[in-house]
Structure formats: C-alpha cells, structure tokens
C-alpha cells in the first residue's frame, strides 16, 4: 500500500467516525452484540471485558464487538503498514516487539486480548500513555490494526530466558 492510499483510506475512516452518534458508528461498523435495552438507549454500547474478574456471580450488562476482518491476511498486511504510518512503532517498537510501550507480539495483553478489548485500547486509549486513536482512525482503521496485531504469532517458550554458560 502506498502512502497516498493510506491517506485516502484514513479520510474515509474519519467519515465513518463523523456519523452523529458514536453508537451508530459502532453498530454499523463493528457488529456489536448488545441487549435490546442497550441498543435502544442513546449511550455507546457497553463492552463486556472478558479479562475482568466479576464481583459476585453476576456480570454487568454489556455487549461484545466482533472484528469484521478476523483472520483476513490481506487486512492484516494493510494493518502492518498502518501500524508504521500511524507511528505505532515509535512506541511499540519495530513489528510491535516492544519499546517504551509494551510488546504486542508476545500473546499477552495488559488490558485484555479479546477483539473488543484490543479495539477499545486503540480507539479510546489507555492510562499510562496509550493515546486515543479512534478520532483519527475511525472504526474501520482500528479494526485493521486489531487484525494485524492478532496476526502476530508469539515466539515459542516466551516465558523462559536462560543462560547456559
């Protein structure tokens, strides 16, 4: 993908975000699964965090987002280029192997590794330094990055580092 193509697509993502109700953008682009009562409200769809411990046995109401490009290798390749074009490597390192920001290719996730959790980390940002890219990238751009990140395969035996001599 050339730089010109990236810029063109970025503009279309912004249009996607520019729809008046964010919930609407997410509904049209992200295929959320929400309860009818939530869908009827004007609030953005709640996301159920799969990696959270639930107090008591009752999880809060929430939907999940599904990556429309899950497993699509062509989208993942586009995401790799977008990763550099958006300067993600400036914090997360070449190929996402970690720099001032965490390694994104180790199969471990500070804020959860489910589709919706990774989406939210990029779209809304996270504490301790992750900027919110949703406004610049839009929903489709963020899913493209999620598709790339989830295509990264952790090296085998990642937890153990040993020295023999």
Partner 1 sequence: MGVVRIAVLMSMAAALGCGSDAYAAGQSATADGDWTMPSKDYAATRYSTLAGITAQNANSLHPVWTFSTGVLGGHEGQPLVVGDTMYVVTPWPNVLYAFDLTREGYPLRWKYRPEVSANALGVACCDSVNRGAFYADGKIIYNLLDGHTVAVDARTGREIWKTQIADLGNGETATMAPLVVRDRVIVGAAGGEFGIYGWLKGLELSTGRTAWTARNMGPDEEMRVRADTFKPPYEHGANLGTQSWGNESWRTGGAPVWGWMSYDPQLDLIYYGTGNPAPYNAEQRPGDNKWSTSVLARRPGDGSLVWAYQFTPHDNWDYDATGAMVLADLTVGGQAVKALVHFDKNGFAYTLDRATGRVLVAQPFTPVNWAQSVDLSNGRPVLNPAKETGASRGNIKGICPSLEGGVSPASPPAYSPRTHLFYTSTNNLCMDYAVRHAKHLKGVPFVGVVSPYSAGPGGYLGSFMAWDAAKGSKVWENKEPFPNWSGALVTAGDVVFYGTLDGWFKSADARSGRVLSKFKVGSGVVGNPITYRGPDGRQYVAVYAGLGGDWALIAGDTRSDDPADVRAPADPVNEIARHTSQGGIVWIFAL
CB of 21 to partner 1, least distance (A): 26
* Contacting residue, 16, 22, 46, 91, with partner 1 by CB under 8 A: 91
125: Cβ contacts below 8 Å, ≥ 6 apart: 131, 132, 133
Vertex 155: Cα angle to 153 and 157 (nearest 5): 135
Q: Which of 66, 68, 72, 109 binds partner 1 (CB under 8 A)?
A: 109
* Interface segment toward partner 1; rule CB under 8 A; list 28-36, 68-76, 83-91, 115-123: 83-91
Q: Of residues 128-147, which lie at the interface with partner 1 (CB under 8 A)?
A: 128-131, 136
Is residue 84 close enough to count as binding partner 1 by CB under 8 A? yes
Does position 57 interact with partner 1 (CB under 8 A)? The reply is: no
**How many Å apart are CA 57 and CA 104, to the nearest integer?**
31
On the 0-12 / 13-18 / 19+ scale of CB atoms within 10 A, 75 is buried
Using rule CB under 8 A, residue 153 touches partner 1: no
Given the rule CB under 8 A, which of 39-47, 56-64, 104-112, 116-124 is the region that contacts partner 1?
104-112
127 lies in the site for partner 1, by CB under 8 A: yes
Whose structure tokens read 């989830």? 150
Among positive and negative, which fits the CA dihedral 129, 87, 98, 115?
A: positive
**Among 19, 38, 97, 151, which residue interacts with partner 1 (rule: CB under 8 A)?**
97
2 dihedral zone (left: phi>0; alpha: psi -120 to 50; beta): beta
Nearer to partner 1, 37 or 157 (CB): 157
Residue 53 gets which letter from DSSP?
P
Nearer to partner 1, 23 or 88 (CB): 88
- Which tokens go with 60? 């809060």
The owner of tokens 């153990």 is 160
Residues that bind partner 1 (CB under 8 A): 3, 84-87, 89-91, 93-94, 97-103, 106, 108-110, 127-131, 136, 155, 158-159, 161, 163
């Amino acid at each position: 993908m050339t730089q010109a193509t990236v810029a063109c697509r970025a503009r279309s993502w912004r249009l996607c975000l520019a729809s008046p109700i964010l919930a609407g953008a997410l509904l049209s682009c992200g295929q959320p699964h929400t309860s009818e009562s939530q869908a009827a409200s004007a609030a953005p769809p709640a996301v159920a965090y799969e990696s959270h411990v639930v107090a008591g046995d009752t999880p809060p109401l929430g939907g999940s987002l599904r990556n429309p490009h899950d497993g699509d290798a062509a989208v993942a390749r586009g995401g790799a280029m977008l990763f550099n074009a958006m300067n993600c490597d400036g914090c997360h390192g070449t190929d996402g192997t970690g720099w001032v920001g965490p390694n994104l290719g180790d199969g471990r996730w500070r804020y959860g590794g489910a589709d919706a959790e990774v989406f939210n980390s990029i779209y809304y940002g996270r504490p301790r330094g992750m900027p919110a890219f949703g406004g610049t990238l839009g929903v489709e751009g963020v899913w493209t990055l999620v598709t790339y990140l989830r295509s990264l395969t952790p090296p085998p035996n990642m937890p153990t580092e040993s020295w023999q001599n």
